[in-house]
Amino acid sequence: MTDDIGVTPAGLRKWSPSALRAGRAIGVLSSIALTLMGLLLLTFLLARFLPADPVYAIIGDNADRDTYERVYRELGLDQPVYQQFFTYALKVVTGDLGMSHITGMPVVRDLLEVVPATLELAIVAIILGSAAGIPLGVLAGTNQNKPIDHVVRIIGLIGYSTPAFWAGMGILIIFYAQLGWIGGAGRQDPYFFGEVPTVTRLVTVDALLAGRVDIFLDALRYLVAPALILAYNALAYISRMTRSFMLEQMNQEYVVTAKAKGLSRGKVIWAHAFVNIRVQLVTIVALTFGAMLEGAVLVETVFAWPGLGQYLTRGLMFRDMNVVLGSVLVIGIFFIILNMLADFAYRQLDPRTR
Amino acid sequence: MHALTRQGLRAYLDPQNVHSSRQAAAQGLVRGGIQILRNPSGLIGAAIIVLLVLAAILAPLLATHNPYAQNLQQVLLPPGADHWFGTDNLGRDIYSRIVYGARATLTIVCIVSVIVGPIGIIIGATAGYFGGLVDTVLMRITDVFLSLPSLVLALAFAAALGPGLDNAIIAISFATWPPIARLARAEAMTIRKSDYVAAARMMQASDLRIILRQIIPMCTLSVVVRLTLNMAGVILVAAGLGFLGVGAQPPLPEWGAMIAVGRQYMLDSWWTVTFPGLAIVAVSLAFNLFGDALRDTLDPRSAR
């Protein structure tokens, strides 16, 4: 998505900056619209062509001929394919993702329930992951090939190579089953269900809004393990990228100048080199946040966290295609928006791109 | 190859005495290989990968028990002299199942590479060589696939295709070709401007011939490196699919699926999930280490 956005056609050069910016915004928006359209087409094709028979998936193998014909027509399968896609796209755009046969609710309503749960997890994880990953990366990048560099590299490698679901089980075995320090399945103790009014759908925030510290602490006990695992995955990637960005800066001439004029090491690193990688870091953190949805699918399954990932997995298990496609669409849209925001932040923060 | 037998291996690999381009290529390969193995991470990575291949080939010799044989008198036994890694809920030997599980992992890695490499190269090289509308259309399609995390994309395909190892491989391939195509495209865009491509064009070579003979061979090396680095991710996605029950199906010994079954017993029988998980970590770590060393060798600039 980044290739053709930054390119300005030669004819635009003599235009005013505001017209240029507007033109670029239109370019970005149309490319996003195209990608979204493609995403819709992909999910449509997945639903229509790949399963053995979408009708049998709903009515089961033993239904009679009449039921089959009726469901076949209800699904619109007797219409031409392009018309089916048009109907599907129109439905999605108007916010109709169909019904889920596992919850008996419209998929959109389910999504409004589960997405905040995943966001709560992902936001805590990205904050922790960045707070640890960026300093570690700076440390490694400014101490190249020293022991600390190798330690950070190994920490990162383990993060890359460990399946998140397996790490989650290990933590459950030790800290839940053996030590009893953390909560097990879910977002909070069932004892507290419905105790505080639902405002933001983030259990921790709602508890604080209602002034219930006990509920907040309880929710934290459930949140800490899955959030830490996702944070560790984020840390692995963020520290590695931060390291290579820092290495690049530390070899630049302005760093040599800063050192030569006698600035302290801390000042050279944080006031000079680090300032110049902030923009790149924003992009990396945004992309990591998007990638967290992937980890969430597995981690939520292990911790029975009632979020988007678990919803998608349940849809898979019961072959509920509406649930699967709705979740996939939400994740795709989320990904595309994050990419767009990262690109926008890059443009705003880096004067060279203006 | 008769030059090899006549001169002996040492003389054949003497860089002072090169007679053919094939000999030069062989020397380059050997030198690169030695350099990778001198790198500690490359050595560890290569050793574990060799171990994986050996385990897959020699599984019947290495296994102590039949991986499918159930023994309901010996259910969930802890690790001991008879069952090194303990037994699972059906009394099957976990060590033997892990050894046989190497076959599933190796199958996935090999077939995904064989599918994804050529597809990525062809799409990327075509887009990069022609540019313009062809490039725009192909890269838009790539962008759509890139707008989803690879596990989610693989899950969606696996859901539609149905469970099973074959379908999981197809699903993973669908999810992992886009970055390869991106890479091949970037390479092709620089290659198409080179003089020898212009020369070939002047000699009336067709576009197809230029792509196949001039562009694709030059993209291959970087694609192979990227494939190696991506294999760790492929193994984790495959294990994730197995864990979520849409990958390999029981009773086939596959590490992710073994963890999924062991999960129900893990609080009392930690070994049911611990050992298959360690196998996954070891192999994905190996591909990460080996891929890093490979990249450092081929592109010393990135090793800094």
With CB atoms and an 8 Å threshold, state whether B277 touches A298.
Answer: no
Which two three-digit tokens encode residue B135?
């490039």
Nearest of A36, A34, A46 to residue B156 by alpha carbon? A46
How does residue B93 score in pLDDT terms, banded at 50, 70 and 90?
A: very high
Best of A37, A41, A169, A249 to substitute, by most chain B Cβ atoms within 10 angstroms, is A169
Q: Is A5's pLDDT higher than 80?
A: no
Show which of A44, A64, A93 is a domain's final residue.
A93
Instruction: Kindly state whether residues A176 and A202 are assigned to the same domain.
Output: yes
Nearest of B105, B51, B154 to residue B276 by alpha carbon? B105
ipTM, interface predicted TM-score of the complex: 0.85
Instruction: Kindly state whether residues A43 and A138 are assigned to the same domain.
Output: no
pLDDT at A7: 47
Question: Is A292 within the bounds of a domain?
Answer: yes
Show which of A59, A93, A127 is a domain's final residue.
A93
What residues make up the domain containing A72?
A: 9-93
Under 8 Å between Cβ of B187 and B128: yes
pLDDT at B79: 92
Question: Is B21 within the bounds of a domain?
Answer: no
The β-bridge partners of A99 are: A106
pLDDT at A199: 75
Under 8 Å between Cβ of A226 and A184: no
With CB atoms and an 8 Å threshold, state whether B285 touches A157.
Answer: yes
Q: Which residue from A minimizes the CA distance to B285?
A: A161
Instruction: Kindly state whether residues A50 and A173 are assigned to the same domain.
Output: no
Q: Is A1's pLDDT higher than 50?
A: no
Q: Which of A64-68, B81-85, B207-211 is predicted with the least confidence, judged by mean pLDDT?
A: A64-68
CATH code of the domain in which A275 resides: 1.10.3720.10
Q: Which of A38-42, A181-185, B98-102 is predicted with the least confidence, judged by mean pLDDT?
A: A181-185
How does residue B26 score in pLDDT terms, banded at 50, 70 and 90?
A: confident
Instruction: Kindly state whether residues A147 and A188 are assigned to the same domain.
Output: yes
Q: Is B255's pLDDT higher than 90?
A: yes
Question: Is B134 within the bounds of a domain?
Answer: yes
With CB atoms and an 8 Å threshold, state whether B162 touches A52.
Answer: yes
pLDDT at A79: 80
Question: Is A263 within the bounds of a domain?
Answer: yes
Question: Is A48 within the bounds of a domain?
Answer: yes
Q: Is A299's pLDDT higher than 70?
A: yes
Question: Is A219 within the bounds of a domain?
Answer: yes
pLDDT per residue as tens digits for the range B151-196 = 888 988 888 888 889 999 999 999 899 999 999 999 999 888 888 8
Instruction: Kindly state whether residues A259 and A166 are assigned to the same domain.
Output: yes
| Cβ atoms within 10 Å of A332's Cβ, excluding its own | 27
Under 8 Å between Cβ of A132 and A285: no
| A241 vs B9: which has the higher pLDDT | A241
**Using CB atoms, which residue from B143, B152, B273 is nearest to A294?**
B152
How does residue B44 score in pLDDT terms, banded at 50, 70 and 90?
A: very high
Question: Is B145 within the bounds of a domain?
Answer: yes
| Contact residues, chain B, for A160 at CB < 8 Å | 232, 284-285, 288
Q: Domain count of chain B?
A: 1
The angle that helices B216-243 and A147-161 make with each other, rounded to 10 degrees, is 70
Question: Is B18 within the bounds of a domain?
Answer: no
Q: Give the span between the Cα atoms of A177 and A166, in whole angstroms.
A: 15
With CB atoms and an 8 Å threshold, state whether B149 touches A294.
Answer: yes
Over residues A236-251, the mean pLDDT reads 91
pLDDT at B304: 44
pLDDT at A6: 45
- Three-state DSSP class for A152? helix
Which two three-digit tokens encode residue B132?
């313009």
Under 8 Å between Cβ of A335 and A290: yes
How does residue B7 score in pLDDT terms, banded at 50, 70 and 90?
A: low
- What residues contact residue A19 under an 8 Å CB cut-off, 6+ apart? none
Q: Give the span between the Cα atoms of B154 and B172, in whole angstroms.
A: 5
Instruction: Kindly state whether residues A121 and A227 are assigned to the same domain.
Output: yes
Q: Is B108's pLDDT higher than 90?
A: yes
Instruction: Kindly state whether residues A233 and A341 are assigned to the same domain.
Output: yes
Instruction: Kindly state whether residues A38 and A147 are assigned to the same domain.
Output: no
pLDDT at A64: 78
pLDDT at A354: 58
| Contact residues, chain B, for A328 at CB < 8 Å | 148, 152-153, 155-156
Over residues A193-205, the mean pLDDT reads 77
Over residues B213-217, the mean pLDDT reads 88
Q: Give the span between the Cα atoms of A346 and A190, in whole angstroms.
A: 44
Question: Is A99 within the bounds of a domain?
Answer: no
Q: Which of A157-166, A188-197, B284-293 is predicted with the least confidence, judged by mean pLDDT?
A: A188-197
Which two three-digit tokens encode residue A309?
């990932």
Instruction: Kindly state whether residues A230 and A341 are assigned to the same domain.
Output: yes
Question: Is B52 within the bounds of a domain?
Answer: no
Q: Domain count of chain A?
A: 2
Question: Is A102 within the bounds of a domain?
Answer: no
Mean pLDDT rounded to a whole number for chain B: 88
List the end-to-end C-alpha distance of chain B, in Å, as a whole number: 38
Question: Is A140 within the bounds of a domain?
Answer: yes
pLDDT per residue as tens digits for the range A130-152 = 999 999 999 999 998 899 999 99
pLDDT per residue as tens digits for the range A17-30 = 777 778 877 887 88
Show which of A93, A127, A145 is a domain's final residue.
A93
Q: Which of A194-198, A244-248, B62-66 is predicted with the least confidence, judged by mean pLDDT?
A: A194-198
Question: Is B26 within the bounds of a domain?
Answer: no
Instruction: Kindly state whether residues A47 and A113 are assigned to the same domain.
Output: no
| Contact residues, chain B, for A313 at CB < 8 Å | 244
- What residues contact residue B23 under an 8 Å CB cut-off, 6+ apart? B3, B12
Best of A36, A50, A100 to substitute, by most chain B Cβ atoms within 10 angstroms, is A50
Question: Count of A–B CB contacts within 8 Å?
Answer: 138
Question: Is A49 within the bounds of a domain?
Answer: yes
pLDDT per residue as tens digits for the range A94-130 = 888 888 888 889 999 999 989 999 999 999 999 999 9
Q: Which residue from A minimizes the CA distance to B292?
A: A157
What residues make up the domain containing B149?
A: 57-303
| A2 vs A338: which has the higher pLDDT | A338
Kindly report the nearest CA distance between residue B107 and chain A, in angstroms: 19
pLDDT per residue as tens digits for the range B126-157 = 999 998 899 989 998 998 898 888 888 898 88
Question: Is B42 within the bounds of a domain?
Answer: no
With CB atoms and an 8 Å threshold, state whether B150 touches A294.
Answer: yes
B positions 266-295 inside 8 Å of A (CB):
266-267, 270, 273-274, 277, 280-281, 284-285, 288-289
pLDDT at A13: 54
Over residues A314-340, the mean pLDDT reads 86
**Using CB atoms, which residue from B144, B160, B239 is nearest to A163?**
B239
B positions 189-228 inside 8 Å of A (CB):
none
Under 8 Å between Cβ of A155 and A239: yes
- Coarse DSSP helix, strand, coil percentages of chain B, rounded to the nearest 5 percent: 75, 0, 25
Instruction: Kindly state whether residues A82 and A175 are assigned to the same domain.
Output: no
Helix (H) or strand (E) holding A10: none
CATH code of the domain in which B161 resides: 1.10.3720.10
Question: Is B205 within the bounds of a domain?
Answer: yes
| A50 vs A132: which has the higher pLDDT | A132
Q: Give the span between the Cα atoms of B106 and B126, in whole angstroms.
A: 30
Q: Which amino acid is at B283?
A: V
The angle that helices B150-161 and B216-243 make with each other, rounded to 10 degrees, is 70
The angle that helices A274-303 and A213-250 make with each other, rounded to 10 degrees, is 140
